[in-house]
Amino acid sequence: MDTVLFGAYAVAYLVLLVWVLTLASRSGWPRSANLPLLVVAGLVYDNAVIAGGRLLGEGPLLEALSVGRFWIHAFVTPLLVLWAWDSLRRAGVAWARTRVAATVAALVVVGLVVVEIVTVLMDLQLGSGEVHGVLSYSSAGSSGPPVMPLVVAAGLVVAGVGLWRRQRWPWLLLGALAMSVGSAVEIPVPSAAVTNAFELILLTAIVATIARQDRDGHREHGATVATDPSRR
């Protein structure tokens, strides 16, 4: 059952990837609003590797592909902090439009990547195991609280509150809260994949937020063109 669920997640993230690529192609490259594209692409890879575990079988190939999952997670997921800052900037939040806020967001991203390198990647030891029918390689030596996911979640909650107040857009906050609660509460079901649905909800909310802000930005640009005599 879990193999089917992880495969379904991979397909769902592929659909999200097409959506965010479409938004990026319409609004231009590069820009901070496109950063979730990398996260979504990483989740396509992550879920596809897990779903294909039993098909590939235990061995060097699956282990190597699994190492890639950890590296992608370490370098790509922290970018959501930078995106959270950018979403507040695009919403017109005054403090988010300062150079200090941009610098702090960038430093937090760098700091989180360094934390992942030191605490996870430098001493990465993978062990194979089968849980609910899914064969995968997981970290055998990890310990301590997951600092990076907690900081990313906090940044998304802050951005969600700001967007709710500024743009009357509650979906990012609801997605971030769903992810936080879903990760903290143990769901009494015989599945290791069910909780990953909350991650999908969050990323869907993020891409929907990009679409909403792009739409608002296009409206504002159109209004500016219509009222500016120099553009007539």
Please report which helix (H) or strand (E) contains residue 95, including its range. none
pLDDT digits (tens, 9 = 90+) for 157-192: 999 999 999 999 999 999 999 999 988 888 888 788
Q: What is the overall mean pLDDT for the chain?
A: 91
For residue 157, count other CB atoms closer than 10 A to its CB: 18
For the stretch 25-39, pLDDT in tens is 998 888 899 999 999
Kindly state the average pLDDT of the residues 112-128.
95
Pick from 56, 53, 113, 106: nearest CA to 84: 106
**What pLDDT digit, counting tens, does each position of 54-82 carry?**
999 999 999 999 999 999 999 999 999 99
- For the segment 122-143, the average pLDDT, to the nearest whole number, is 87
pTM for the model stands at 0.91
